[in-house]
């Protein structure tokens, strides 16, 4: 049950240590949440109700310098962000390996392909080749509509772009070949309901 | 084919960008390699010969301060290591979700349970419950022997320890219930050969 403060702000639940990726408290409401935050809450929900085990991978960091102060934790003093070779999310659901990347676009009618990396496209192809389930989740932030689209379509648009074709995936494709993801209080972005329908 | 320099040192191959976790060059030889390095080489081999898609997850880092210098990459200037909630390795093989943790022990006859965290033990239980394959890989560094042991045994020893039982897993258990992993030039630590036998 959602609890709201008198000012209309949602109740801030105590953060759980279950997810190793969210550095900050998690707000159990739905104002101004990013897709990533929504997915973290969703995945934690799936974990807590024992529906699936899916995590966001930690951000890959290249560590250059570490201080080891006496009587306190090792402190990283120089490090850089690295580009991921894989997608951000993976895990297991109904005995199947699940793998996906999630992106938001501010464009009303398309998502630019530069939101993805060549490594990620290749990674998802391999995942599917080995019998895993691979897809992207894209949120059109102007309307809040969120879709699941099989990784094959991303691979197809990617290869077309390399041959000089358009550099984005049109929203129309998500409407025709993708699947709108139901959004609720919890689970926030219920993508497993779509996975049930599409892959099982 | 391994190439050695005249001083006996192995040829240092160009690092590949395929693995997002190894910060340093990878040495294609077998002297003084840690289990983690061996597994990185092994997983890259599996990827290259199209046998499986299995990665080590990046180390989870809590980022506190980031500098954004003009005309150069964002620089993390304060960050700390975090304890992982999951295991280090996961991926897909023959359509199945694979999940494992790998540890070395310097003790000849046992591995202390403190090499694992409660979260990891719980995580592996959930993985198995959802139809995934979960195990540990343990290297006894005195002899170099390396074993695969199903996660159920870890869970059992973990719960016994919590009830006052022994705080380690004896090597004898690995010999009786585990499976010695064949070690070669490539794949270095051929754990998928054992996975074939045990889980398929």
Task: Please provide the average confidence, as pLDDT, over all residues in chain B.
Answer: 88
**Which of B119, B198, B113 lies closest to B156, judged by CA?**
B113
Q: Measured between beta carbons, which residues in chain A are less than 8 angstroms from residue B82? A: 20
Q: What is the structure's pLDDT at B84? A: 87
CB contact under 8 Å between A90 and B90, yes or no, is yes
A38 is in an annotated binding site: no
* Interface predicted TM-score (ipTM): 0.83
Chain B nearest CA to A131, separation (Å): 4
Q: Measured between beta carbons, which residues in chain B are less than 8 angstroms from residue A89? A: none
Q: What is the structure's pLDDT at A84? A: 87
Average pLDDT over residues A8-30: 43
Q: Measured between beta carbons, which residues in chain B are less than 8 angstroms from residue A48? A: none
Q: Would you say residue A168 lies in a domain?
A: yes
Q: Which domain holds residue A126?
A: 35-199
Chain A nearest CA to B42, separation (Å): 17
Buried b (16+ CB within 10 A) or exposed e, B38-58: bbbbbbbbbbeeeebbbbbbb
Q: Would you say residue A14 lies in a domain?
A: no
Q: Would you say residue B156 lies in a domain?
A: yes
What contacts A99, CB < 8 A, 6 or more positions away? A86, A87, A89, A90, A123, A124, A127, A132, A133, A134, B92
**B10-19, B60-69, B187-196: the lowest-pLDDT one:** B10-19
pLDDT band at B33 (very low <50, low <70, confident <90, very high): confident
Chain A nearest CA to B116, separation (Å): 16
Torsion of the alpha carbons at B104, B105, B108 and B114, rounded to the nearest 10 = -140
Q: Would you say residue A4 lies in a domain?
A: no
Q: Least CA distance to B19: which residue of chain A?
A: A85
Q: Would you say residue A26 lies in a domain?
A: no
B19 has pLDDT over 90: no
Q: What CATH number corresponds to the domain at position A145? A: 3.40.1350.10
CB contact under 8 Å between A126 and B82, yes or no, is no
Q: What is the structure's pLDDT at A174? A: 98
The alpha carbons of chain A give a radius of gyration, in whole angstroms, of 19
What contacts B166, CB < 8 A, 6 or more positions away? B157, B160
Q: Measured between beta carbons, which residues in chain B are less than 8 angstroms from residue A69? A: none
Q: What is the structure's pLDDT at A33? A: 85
Q: Would you say residue B118 lies in a domain?
A: yes
A contact test, residue of B79, B83, B120, B122 with most A CBs within 10 A? B79
A contact test, residue of B76, B95, B192, B200 with most A CBs within 10 A? B76
Work out how many domains chain A is built from and give that number. Answer: 1
d(CA B61, CA B112): 25
Q: Would you say residue A47 lies in a domain?
A: yes
d(CA B30, CA B185): 8
- Residues A77-109 have pLDDT tens digits of 999 999 888 999 999 999 999 999 999 999 999
Average pLDDT over residues B97-109: 98
CB contact under 8 Å between A81 and B74, yes or no, is yes
Q: What is the structure's pLDDT at A10? A: 52
Q: Would you say residue B21 lies in a domain?
A: no
- Residues B47-96 have pLDDT tens digits of 999 999 999 999 999 999 999 998 889 999 999 999 888 999 999 999 99
d(CA A66, CA A76): 4
């Amino acid at each position: 049950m959602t609890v709201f403060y008198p000012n209309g702000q949602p109740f801030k639940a105590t953060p759980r240590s279950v997810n190793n990726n969210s550095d900050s408290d998690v707000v159990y409401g739905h104002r101004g949440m990013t897709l990533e935050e929504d997915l973290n809450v969703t995945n934690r929900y799936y974990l807590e109700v024992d529906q699936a085990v899916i995590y966001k991978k930690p951000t890959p960091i290249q560590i250059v310098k570490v201080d080891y102060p006496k009587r306190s934790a090792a402190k990283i003093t120089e490090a850089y962000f690295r580009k991921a070779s894989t997608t951000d999310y993976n895990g297991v659901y109904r005995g199947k390996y699940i793998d996906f990347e999630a992106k938001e676009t501010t464009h009303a009618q398309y998502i630019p392909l530069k939101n993805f990396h060549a490594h990620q496209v290749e990674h998802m192809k391999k995942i599917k080749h080995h019998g895993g389930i691979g897809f992207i989740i894209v949120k059109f932030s102007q309307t809040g509509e969120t879709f699941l689209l099989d990784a094959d379509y991303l691979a197809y648009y990617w290869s077309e772009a390399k041959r000089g074709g358009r550099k984005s995936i049109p929203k129309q494709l998500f409407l025709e070949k993708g699947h709108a993801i139901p959004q609720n209080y919890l689970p926030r972005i219920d993508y497993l309901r779509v996975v049930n329908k599409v892959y099982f």
